[in-house]
Amino acid sequence: MKTRLFRVFNLTAILLFISALAAFGQTPEVTETEARFNQITGEAGKFFKQGLFNMQDNRRPQAGEDFNKSVEVFLMSGVNVSRNQRLQGCYTQLIDTVYHIEFPADKQLAQKIRTLSAMCGWNWNDNDYKLSDAVAKNILTAPVETNNNNTPLIASAAGQFNQTQGFNEQKFEASPLDELAKLELTPDEQQIENNPVAQQQYQYIQYAVSNKSLGFNFQVHPMIQQFVNYYRGRGKATMETGLYRSGMFMRMARRIFREEGVPENVAWLGQVESAWKPSAMSWASASGLWQFIPGTGSRYGLRRTPHLDERNSFEAATTASARYLKFLANRYGGNWELAMGAYNCGEGNVDRAIRKAGVANFWAAYPYLPRETRNYVPNILATILIANNPNQYGFGHVRPAPQLLYERIRVPASTNLGILAQASDTTVEYLRYLNPELRTNMSPPEPYIIRVPQGKSNEVVALFKKLPKASVNLASITKTTAGENWQNISNRTGVSVQELQAANGNSTAPKGKVVIPKGNSVQKTNYSRPTTPSPVARTNKVRVVKAKSGDTVAKLAAREGVSAVEIAKYNGLLPGSALPAGREIKIP
């Protein structure tokens, strides 16, 4: 025993001696780097732990703020995190862990928190680990909120989580699919034979199918005309909204569907899926213009990370939708009715319905399909018919919205949208509107293509070329006024004339937009939690104002002191839409 103790003592002494030698041999630069790492990670750890305490006490908004601050420590440190392997490891693990606290999807949360602590060198004690384990357990065992059918309201890729989870209330625009599942046609809507107008329109459907004018074949069925009757009556406003909003995305959708070998008219499926709202979400957590659930989105290359959810993107999700539909059409021998049905309820449900029917025909399989799917397919076919001949169906007055125009630029990893908004003369809110796949006010931690307002890409790229890569998110951009000099700008920003000139190509006089490097008075854009763009709450508290000559949505919003984006959403317009004098605009 004594010999063993002696050996342990000797081993300990040797290790201490080696550590002392290593410390003695460290250069001042190494010592300074280590101290800076400890300072940044230590401060982040302090906020993270405070967030856990708030989670334990069920103070979710306060916990969210603490986790925000934990991440913000890195962003505002002035250190290029991507250049330091240890800092980047700690930062990446922190982002991932906070995301899984907010949106838990597996049973490894407690281990993730422990890994984070070790990676960031927080030296937690037993009480700290007991706290984190208790919080993880509470999160993962939270009851799942269900609707009247005992169906989970929100489902994740690997499990289910309560709709109330998330540090701040998550609000999504309701998908029309939720109402479609409950829709029952009235006796009047089902009537065709004793309705001369419906009878004439039903004959037109037969003619359109026989001459193949819609680009694909489908079987004529009375239920298609019944949905036309629905849209000509109580569903008229829904169709008007959809036809209007289709103008924003339909040209893009037609192009992508054509390139992928899918009939262009099948793209009208997007109107039934989302009413052309990129932030639409259904009870099953299907999201975006094309309502992908996480699993199917992943199958078709749509990434879902703590930084972005490509199901909400424009181009990527549209391409994925076209490819999925093409796969389904091939699976069912070119039968587009079955393909659309499987898009709604999955191949498994359609396969089972076909087996029960004994034939690969949608209308034969109809009784064995889910209720929503039985409504879904004739609804899409009715929408396609109306969209291709709106005058015949009483929608000739609807003028589609202008195409949503934007330009795309590649930005550095983890670029703050605040500086992008300054460079492109817009707001962070509007950039989020153009880039609905982004979960935060920052681009992902990789070079990423961001949409900016049309006509602004060259200006943004030119300004970004001036920005030092290491401090891109610490800089700011400001406009100069006529007659202003560098000293004036220095006075109002707290940055020296020499630093201003150096950041702007050593120009002798400021002109247009100029870059302001990190200074005493430069306002920083705070990190914010992942969110999906939230619609304005539809309440009865709405006031109506009339547009003046020359007004746009943006001008009217500025005059009224409200958000242009929210007014645009509320009235089915774009922020840049011109308004005729006297038009009534609703303001919530």
From the list 179, 239, 222, the residue with the least C-alpha distance to 372 is 179
Q: What is the dihedral of CA 518, 524, 530, 533, to 10 degrees?
A: -130
User: Which of 322, 333, 339 lies closest to 260 in space, CA to CA?
Assistant: 322
Bridge partners (DSSP) of residue 280 are 173
Burial class (CB in 10 A: 0-12, 13-18, 19+), 28: exposed
For β-strands 543-546 and 513-516, DSSP reports them as unpaired
Distance CA 43, CA 40 (A): 5
DSSP 8-state symbol, 470: G
Cα 44–chain centre separation? 26
**Residue 84 tokens, joined:** 């330091």
In the block, tokens 């990789």 appear at 446
The strand pair at 476-479 and 513-516 is best described as antiparallel
Phi, psi dihedral angles at 391 (to 5 degrees): -65, -40
For residue 435, what is the enclosing H or E element? Answer: none
Tell me how far apart the alpha carbons of residues 501 and 506 are, in angstroms, rounded to a whole number. 4
Helix (H, G, I), strand (E, B) or coil at 447: coil
As to burial, measured by CB atoms within 10 angstroms (0-12 exposed, 13-18 middle, 19+ buried), residue 56 is middle
List 102, 273, 310, 337, catalytic entry: 273
**From the CB of residue 469, how many other CB atoms can be counted at a distance below 10 Å?**
11
80: exposed, middle or buried (C-beta count within 10 Å: 0-12, 13-18, 19+)? middle
Question: Of how many residues is the chain composed?
Answer: 588
**Torsion angles phi and psi, residue 80, rounded to 5:** -75, 95
**273 is known as an active-site residue:** yes
Please choose, from the candidates 538, 528, 550, 558, the residue with its C-alpha nearest in 3D space to the C-alpha of residue 61. Answer: 528
| No. of helices (H) and no. of strands (E), the chain | 25, 8
Residue 212, classed as helix, strand or coil, is: coil
Catalytic positions are 273
